Chains A and B, each alone.
Chain A
Amino acid sequence: MSSVGAFLRFALGSIFRNRRRALSAMIGIILAVTLIAGENIAIDTTASSALMNILEAVQVDFMASASSSDYVNVTSTIAKVENVKYVEPIYEIGYVEVGADVNSTDHYANIVGTRPEFEVVMDKLDITGTFTLENGTAVLSSNIANSVGVGIGDTICLSNTIRTFENEVWRNRTYSLNLTVSGIVNIKEESSYEGDIYFWTPITSQTVFVSIYEASSIEEKLNLTFHPWVNNSHYMSGAKIQYFIWIDRDKLIDINDLEGSKTSIRQVKKRIELSGAQYGVSVYGSDLEMAINSYSNRMVSFRLIMLALSLPVIALGFYLGILGVELGMNERRREIGILKSRGVSNKQILLMLLFESIILGVIAGIIGLLCGLLSSRFFLGLGGQEIGLFDIAVSNASITISILLAIILMLIAVVRPARRISKIPIVEALHHYSKEEVKKRYKPTRDIIMILIASLTYFFMVTFDPSTFFSGSFTFLTLIALIFFMLAPILIPFSPFFLIFGLTRLLTRSTNKIYSAVSHATKFFTKDMWHIVNKNLARNPKRASRVCVIISLALAFGIFTMTFMDTSIAFEERKIRAEIGSDIHIISYTENMSFERKLSAIDGVDMVASASFTSCNVGSEYASISAFNSSAYCEIVDLEDYYFIEGNPGVLTTLADGENAVINKRLADEYGFNVGDMLPVQVYHYEGFAEGTTHTFNYQITGIVKYLPGLQLWGYGVYGDNMVFVDLSRINVTLFDHGESCFLVKVKNGFSHEEIANDIENLYPNEASDIKVFQVEFDRVKNDPMFSAFLYFLTVEYAFVLLIATVGIGLIMFVAAREREQEIANIIARGASTKQIFSLFLGEGLTIMLIGILIGSGTGLLTAYAFNEMISIDPYQLVERTLILSPSLALLIFASIIALIFTITMVSLQAARIKLHQALRIRGG
């Protein structure tokens, strides 16, 4: 074989002659590529709708202003620019009071003047009545109409009160104007966020539309150009005109050429400014360009993030690929020996095998891509997208990534075994098996090092606190710690792999005791022959070890991600509990006791606890003091012990006598306070415009807490503050100048928390300024699209990981059975039944599976614990992040075991059904 063409032909022939072997080599890579292709195709498919969603959030493409007040000509000039679809001038008349009449103008609205054509371009407007905007009429937003209590045909009064200082006296003058309501528009959104970009919505839910043609007259009647603070000057009329511009998006935006699209948009912008130069037109606020930038950046980041998250599958698929390749290489020893005996050199053998791997890589990439098309349906669930069966999109990026990845993985998998087998002596290769291969001495050094590195990394993750460790003197230990600290970002992701590889290989290859110990568990199936299982595993520990590694990796990944997600959800729940404290949390600027009584009187409310806040001093340090109803609080709030540094929830009952206080850890650390110490607190009370007075209170500290849940307010109660908690009953809350309070509400069983919150909002809209419902907040976190998508993706990824594990164990067992065909036939010839052969293989498979599960579970849990500890090192963290082992974890392990048992069973059945005469007919007949 001297020519490249001959190599290619032989390589291709080799692949197609033994398709089973080729498939074994490719299967791991195919599965890995399927996942990558699937997620990328899902990204491609949703890209178009994702972009459309983003662009829909952009209500206005450009905003422009002009120095000229001639809005008619400015509008027509802009409209003539190529690719400008619509342009509408918006006259911002002013922010005024509105009401049904001049005496009841206690709502505010933004008055804008526009043309009737505005209705056409803002196609989100949902109008009842007409938008003809005749003189003397107005179209209201539904919010304004409801607040004021007017309908179509009614009169709405606009008024503007100006306060002027005349003759050394402040005087109010009110300017008003009545208009007839001709239409009501239902404006859906005040603003919109798309990812990290805020898209400004010029039309808010507090808008009143009038005709642009009478805008200046309205402005004059309401004296809205008067500027009281600048020498009683007036705004220049016309300075408040903006131009909303819409371009032809279909012509200018091409999803496959985003850079080109951005250029086109910029060009239109420039042309608008050029055309309107005579009017001083300036274009600003290009939300469209921002949207496209955001989208393309997001797509790139998203692909990279998905790739990073898919690394476990890629790693496992790659490992399976290596196994498949090695098994195939072992089968080809004789073939390689024969080729070499016919004069093929080592280098030629190597090149031939590498050629094969490239071809296999291409085939694996194509198959993976096709399978990815099918699997992309699962990933489309990530965004909750409803996509038609034939609407799948595949970009060049997806095709390239899939095939390149497959080729690279295949090449890397083949290189080492190909080099090894190309150098094998001819005589050894021509034997059926090589004793040297089977009896290779195992060296544990590398595995011990991997275990050591992993263990040290875990140790550091759990125990290491850089602030305390590095504050001491510099020693050799500090140096080691520093090195580990710097290497941690690299070591942490790899530690589970090191631990699994090292531990599995050490346990399964350095000694046979583990097989002996674990195969006892399979005695139910194997009965007296369990020792044969033992010995069969021990004779090829390398193979058994590899299967264990695959199972361990798969299970460890599943356990880690499931535990991490469950722990994170529980942590978020605790955080929300810490913030809200009870079922409903209300912030109010009203007097405590009366509002507390009002809340208690609502049907469905079980109990209410109130708290007031103000700032204070403890010595020279600023602090916040919260006076709260401690007995009601203890009934309402589920206080967990981890809130308490010193003491327990019971210490709150000591506050009722008014002599005691509980402080937070931050304040305690500041002064070194302990329980039993005296705490002097100064509260400064402002008395109108006169000088205030300082009130000093002396409390005895009976408890130290991280925080008390629910007792927070804007500006107060943030964990960074020093906090003092006292009972409400023995302190005069009129000293608490700011009058800010919060109310914790417990809802009776059987009542909807959200409905109670709505009742409170409707009944007391002025008193209840911020209402939070625990269940609503928690549901928002649980149902957060990003979080849900992440969880969904991890679930799909675990399914792939499990698939790879089951395929891996099936493949290796299948090959092992083939190699031992004659031996099996011999045992059958001695009187073994199919059931007994099946039991033998089942016993072997189960033994390996059990070892893999033990190591994988242990590593997964340890990794989850260590990671959890590592991210929980903040001593001032409000809530504990406790590792949660939910029932779904048991379900995951159970499902994984079932899948593995199913595969082992299938392969064992296959192994037991050999054709005796074929297996035994080695020679002659």
Chain B
Amino acid sequence: MSIVVKDLIRVYRTGKSEVIALRGLNLDVKAGEIVAIMGPSGCGKTTLLNMIGGLDRPTAGSILVDGKDITQFSENELVEFRRRNVGYVFQFFNLVPTLTAEENIELPMQLAGTSHAKRKERVGELLDIIDLHERKHHKPDELSGGEQQRVAIAVALANDPEIILADEPTGELDTKTGKEVLQLFHTLGREFGKTEIIVTHDQRISPLADRTLTIEDGLIIK
């Protein structure tokens, strides 16, 4: 799926103060492309990801995913979009603490109404991809950081979305684990043709991504 962002503006108003997180950002991501986005804290990276992922609505501008402007979607359409088309990987994993690894991976499919049999099959596939079969019955607090992030990636892939959005996926990981996770992202992009936008401070992403962009003050500068 291709992603075209045009003149995207996002303004946050809290009380009397106003923060302009994005100032008319433009971005073009081709289908199957891996794009890394970097920038200092507060530059608007996460905001951009939230917009593209349908988690937030812009103040102005448009976001075309495969030609459809998701900023015009109704709430139900956005839910479907998030359910079917986007897989989100968070910095802090954001796994449900009371569910096992296997159950966390299964959750998006349950939300999407997938049948039990198909869910079980897909979970097996994803556990193969992330290589975590032996730990599938463990809860998040019983897994290491790297294992949790791999589970989080599997969760993001559960409904086989075309788009993967990752917000600082290696931020909480050590060097070795971070490298493994980045490698996984690379594999997903190349072998499974996913369109990936990865927000990161990790310089090691550059050789693995098709493009690296920098955001500063709500605009892409290069």
Check if A823 sits within 8 Å of B42, measured CB to CB. Answer: no
Check if B55 sits within 8 Å of A916, measured CB to CB. Answer: yes
The reply on A921 being an interface residue by CB < 8 A is: yes
Contacts of A829 in B (CB 8 A): 53, 55, 82, 88, 90, 94
The reply on A892 being an interface residue by CB < 8 A is: no
Check if B111 sits within 8 Å of A539, measured CB to CB. Answer: no
Check if B79 sits within 8 Å of A833, measured CB to CB. Answer: yes
Complex Cα distance, B141 from A539, in Å, reads 13
The reply on B50 being an interface residue by CB < 8 A is: yes
Most buried by B among A536, A826, A831: A831
Contacts of B50 in A (CB 8 A): 916-917, 920
Complex Cα distance, B167 from A916, in Å, reads 15
Complex Cα distance, B112 from A312, in Å, reads 47
The reply on B98 being an interface residue by CB < 8 A is: yes
Complex Cα distance, B155 from A14, in Å, reads 41
Most buried by B among A528, A531, A828, A921: A528
CB distance from A822 to the nearest CB of B (A): 7
The reply on A731 being an interface residue by CB < 8 A is: no
Check if B46 sits within 8 Å of A921, measured CB to CB. Answer: yes
Check if B155 sits within 8 Å of A830, measured CB to CB. Answer: yes
CB distance from B199 to the nearest CB of A (A): 9
* 8 A Cβ contacts from A177-222 to B: none
Contacts of B116 in A (CB 8 A): 528
* 8 A Cβ contacts from B53-90 to A: 53, 55-56, 75-76, 79-80, 82-84, 88, 90
Contacts of B47 in A (CB 8 A): 917, 925
Complex Cα distance, B152 from A830, in Å, reads 11
Check if A828 sits within 8 Å of B41, measured CB to CB. Answer: no
The reply on B2 being an interface residue by CB < 8 A is: no
Binary contact track A494-537/B, C-beta < 8 Å → 1, others 0: 00000000000000000000000000000000001101100110
CB distance from A817 to the nearest CB of B (A): 15
Contacts of B91 in A (CB 8 A): 923
Please pick, from A529, A831, A921, the residue contacting B79 in the complex, using a CB distance under 8 A.
A831
CB distance from B86 to the nearest CB of A (A): 8
Nearest CB to that of A539 among chain B residues? B98
Complex Cα distance, B99 from A529, in Å, reads 11
CB distance from B149 to the nearest CB of A (A): 14
Complex Cα distance, B110 from A630, in Å, reads 76
The reply on A77 being an interface residue by CB < 8 A is: no
Check if A830 sits within 8 Å of B97, measured CB to CB. Answer: no
The reply on B44 being an interface residue by CB < 8 A is: yes
The reply on B108 being an interface residue by CB < 8 A is: yes
Most buried by B among A538, A832, A924: A924
The reply on A834 being an interface residue by CB < 8 A is: yes
The reply on A836 being an interface residue by CB < 8 A is: yes
The reply on A827 being an interface residue by CB < 8 A is: yes
CB distance from A924 to the nearest CB of B (A): 5
The reply on A72 being an interface residue by CB < 8 A is: no
The reply on B96 being an interface residue by CB < 8 A is: yes
Please pick, from B75, B92, B95, the residue contacting A922 in the complex, using a CB distance under 8 A.
B92
Contacts of B103 in A (CB 8 A): 531
Complex Cα distance, B111 from A539, in Å, reads 21
Check if A924 sits within 8 Å of B159, measured CB to CB. Answer: no
Nearest CB to that of A534 among chain B residues? B98
Complex Cα distance, B75 from A364, in Å, reads 41
The reply on B164 being an interface residue by CB < 8 A is: no
Please pick, from A535, A823, A831, the residue contacting B111 in the complex, using a CB distance under 8 A.
A831
Contacts of A822 in B (CB 8 A): 94
Contacts of B55 in A (CB 8 A): 825, 828-829, 916-917, 920
CB distance from B48 to the nearest CB of A (A): 9
Complex Cα distance, B158 from A832, in Å, reads 13
Contacts of A823 in B (CB 8 A): 94, 96-97
* 8 A Cβ contacts from B153-184 to A: 155, 158-159, 168
Complex Cα distance, B168 from A868, in Å, reads 68
Complex Cα distance, B47 from A922, in Å, reads 12
Nearest CB to that of A831 among chain B residues? B83
Binary contact track A573-596/B, C-beta < 8 Å → 1, others 0: 000000000000000000000000
* 8 A Cβ contacts from A780-830 to B: 822-823, 825-830
Complex Cα distance, B54 from A917, in Å, reads 10
Nearest CB to that of B75 among chain A residues? A834
Complex Cα distance, B98 from A538, in Å, reads 9
Check if A925 sits within 8 Å of B46, measured CB to CB. Answer: yes
CB distance from B116 to the nearest CB of A (A): 8
The reply on B5 being an interface residue by CB < 8 A is: no
Contacts of A922 in B (CB 8 A): 92
CB distance from B204 to the nearest CB of A (A): 19
Check if A924 sits within 8 Å of B41, measured CB to CB. Answer: yes
* 8 A Cβ contacts from A109-162 to B: none
Contacts of A836 in B (CB 8 A): 111
Please pick, from B45, B96, B107, the residue contacting A925 in the complex, using a CB distance under 8 A.
B45
Complex Cα distance, B91 from A470, in Å, reads 74
Binary contact track B112-151/A, C-beta < 8 Å → 1, others 0: 1000100000000000000000000000000000000000
Given A529-B110, A917-B50, A920-B50, decide whether A831 and B84 contact each other with a Cβ distance below 8 A: yes
Most buried by B among A828, A830, A917, A921: A830
Complex Cα distance, B166 from A333, in Å, reads 32
Check if A830 sits within 8 Å of B107, measured CB to CB. Answer: yes
Check if B56 sits within 8 Å of A917, measured CB to CB. Answer: yes
Please pick, from B76, B94, B158, the residue contacting A826 in the complex, using a CB distance under 8 A.
B94
Contacts of A916 in B (CB 8 A): 50, 55-56
Contacts of A535 in B (CB 8 A): 98-99
CB distance from B59 to the nearest CB of A (A): 12
Check if B82 sits within 8 Å of A830, measured CB to CB. Answer: yes
CB distance from A828 to the nearest CB of B (A): 7
Nearest CB to that of A837 among chain B residues? B111
Please pick, from A827, A917, A921, the residue contacting B107 in the complex, using a CB distance under 8 A.
A827
Check if B82 sits within 8 Å of A828, measured CB to CB. Answer: yes
* 8 A Cβ contacts from A830-851 to B: 830-834, 836
CB distance from A819 to the nearest CB of B (A): 12
Contacts of A827 in B (CB 8 A): 96, 107, 111
Given A836-B111, A925-B44, decide whether A539 and B97 contact each other with a Cβ distance below 8 A: yes
Complex Cα distance, B190 from A496, in Å, reads 67
Contacts of A528 in B (CB 8 A): 110, 116
Contacts of B97 in A (CB 8 A): 539, 823
Contacts of B108 in A (CB 8 A): 830-831
Contacts of B53 in A (CB 8 A): 829
Given A532-B96, A826-B90, A916-B56, decide whether A924 and B46 contact each other with a Cβ distance below 8 A: yes
The reply on B21 being an interface residue by CB < 8 A is: yes
Complex Cα distance, B50 from A922, in Å, reads 13
Complex Cα distance, B56 from A832, in Å, reads 15
CB distance from A545 to the nearest CB of B (A): 17
Contacts of A832 in B (CB 8 A): 79, 111
Contacts of B107 in A (CB 8 A): 532, 827, 830
Complex Cα distance, B44 from A826, in Å, reads 20
Check if B42 sits within 8 Å of A924, measured CB to CB. Answer: yes
Nearest CB to that of A538 among chain B residues? B98
Please pick, from A529, A536, A920, A925, the residue contacting B90 in the complex, using a CB distance under 8 A.
A920
Binary contact track A477-490/B, C-beta < 8 Å → 1, others 0: 00000000000000
CB distance from B161 to the nearest CB of A (A): 9
Check if A532 sits within 8 Å of B90, measured CB to CB. Answer: no
Complex Cα distance, B82 from A920, in Å, reads 15
CB distance from A862 to the nearest CB of B (A): 34
24 contacts between A and B (CB under 8 A): A532-B98, A532-B99, A535-B99, A539-B98, A826-B94, A827-B111, A828-B82, A829-B55, A829-B88, A830-B82, A830-B88, A830-B107, A831-B80, A831-B83, A831-B84, A831-B108, A916-B50, A916-B56, A920-B90, A921-B46, A922-B92, A924-B41, A924-B42, A925-B47
Question: Can you list the 6 inter-chain pairs with the closest CB atoms, starting with the nearest?
Answer: A831-B83, A826-B94, A535-B98, A917-B56, A925-B46, A830-B108
Q: Beyond the given A536-B98, A539-B97, could you list 7 further A-B residue pairs with CB under 8 A, ordered by the A residue number? A: A535-B99, A823-B97, A829-B90, A830-B155, A831-B111, A832-B79, A921-B46
